[in-house]
Amino acid sequence: MARDRTSDSTFLSKIAAGDKSAIRWGIVVVIVLCVGVWWAFRPRSMSVAQTAGPNDVGAPARNRATLTLANGQQLILDGAPNGVLAIQGGVQILKGTDGQVIYRADAQGSGELLYNTLNNPRGSIVVDAKLSDGSRVWLNAGSSLRCPAVFPSDDRTVDITGEAYFEVASDARRPFRVKNGNMVVNVLGTSFNIRTYNDDPLRRVTLVEGKVRVTCDNSLVLDAGDQAVVENRAEVIKDVHLDAVMAWKNGLFSFSHTDLVSVMRELSCWYNVDITYENNMPDRYFTGVLDRMLTLDQLLKKLTDGRVHYSIDPGKRKLMIGP
């Protein structure tokens, strides 16, 4: 059917003339189109953990993190009310409405270095913290952050285990340093992911934007999109898949020809299960992007497609893998 150009022209002329009815209809059309585009490209990550059956293990549904203060007092974040959690050296430590840990300091603080440790154990949702300098940190399950309640005037150094994503507030007078063992990441203002799990022989620093220097037995500078892989010395991988690196923060698992042990290492940490293997396991590799809110059984069925035999003991929180 031929398009009625006359009607199009009439509608456009009404808009040009300020016809309110035509303008309202035009706004409605734009809104509908915008909603349609959003729906088509909306994030597919689920907002809540799926219900696990009697022979299954569910994804983490709550925050199990603890905050240990300089005096040794330990706060369980999930059970704490929103608002002020503690005051240390003139610094207010608060819990936000979304569970975020917030350090609110005046310009000077007390000058005393009072170290806190934020620990996010296995089987816990991702925890978000805003440090006293305005930098933000997201901690994956099985991770910890040690930092002063307020940074001194000439330095910002924190210690990390596990995996964390940093958005560092720019401050040229006070370089920001992230330490793990003999590895130090030096930044001014940038965004990067650091992965340092004890059960993984390789540590990884992935730069999202800005520039960082990674120092261990050697020293190298990363540009955006680079990843430093560190065992003893650091080596650079260029143009890594940032969406895959950041999948955990966005509620996803992302595997690309990933070996079985590495996959199970991820699942062990997220679902808080111990993995055991039968003898003579063949080499198997897996590719897929999956929602972290799936139960363990749901995820394994989708990922392995029957290529791996397994059994789950939810009472003992064990996952047994067979060939």
Enumerate residues 6+ apart whose C-beta is below 8 A from 287: 255, 256, 257, 258
Please report the DSSP string for 176-228 in residue order: EEEEETTEEEEESS-EEEEEE-TT-S-EEEEEEESEEEEESSSEEEEETT-EE
Selection from 43, 47, 45, 49 nearest residue 295 by Cα: 49
pTM value is: 0.83
Please report the DSSP string for 272-323 in residue order: T-EEEE-SSPPP-EEEEEEETTS-HHHHHHHHHTTSSEEEEETTTTEEEEE-
Q: What is the pLDDT of residue 281?
A: 77
CATH numbers and ranges of domains, the chain: 5-41 (no CATH), 66-245 (2.60.120.1440), 247-322 (3.55.50.30)
Helix then strand then coil, in percent of the chain rounded to 5, is 20, 40, 40
Distance CA 323, CA 321 (A): 7
For the chain, 323 residues long, give each residue's pLDDT as a single digit of tens. 444 444 444 544 554 555 555 455 555 444 444 434 343 334 445 557 889 999 999 999 999 999 999 999 999 999 999 999 999 888 999 999 999 999 998 755 556 789 999 999 999 999 999 999 999 999 999 999 999 999 998 999 999 999 999 999 999 899 999 999 999 999 978 999 999 999 999 999 999 999 999 999 999 999 999 999 999 899 999 999 999 999 999 999 999 999 999 999 999 999 999 999 988 777 899 999 999 999 999 999 999 998 889 999 999 999 999 87
Q: Report DSSP state, residue 129.
A: E
Residue 45 in tokens: 């990550």
The Cα angle at residue 208 between residues 143 and 193, in degrees rounded to 5? 10
The answer to whether the beta carbons of residues 276 and 318 sit under 8 Å apart is yes
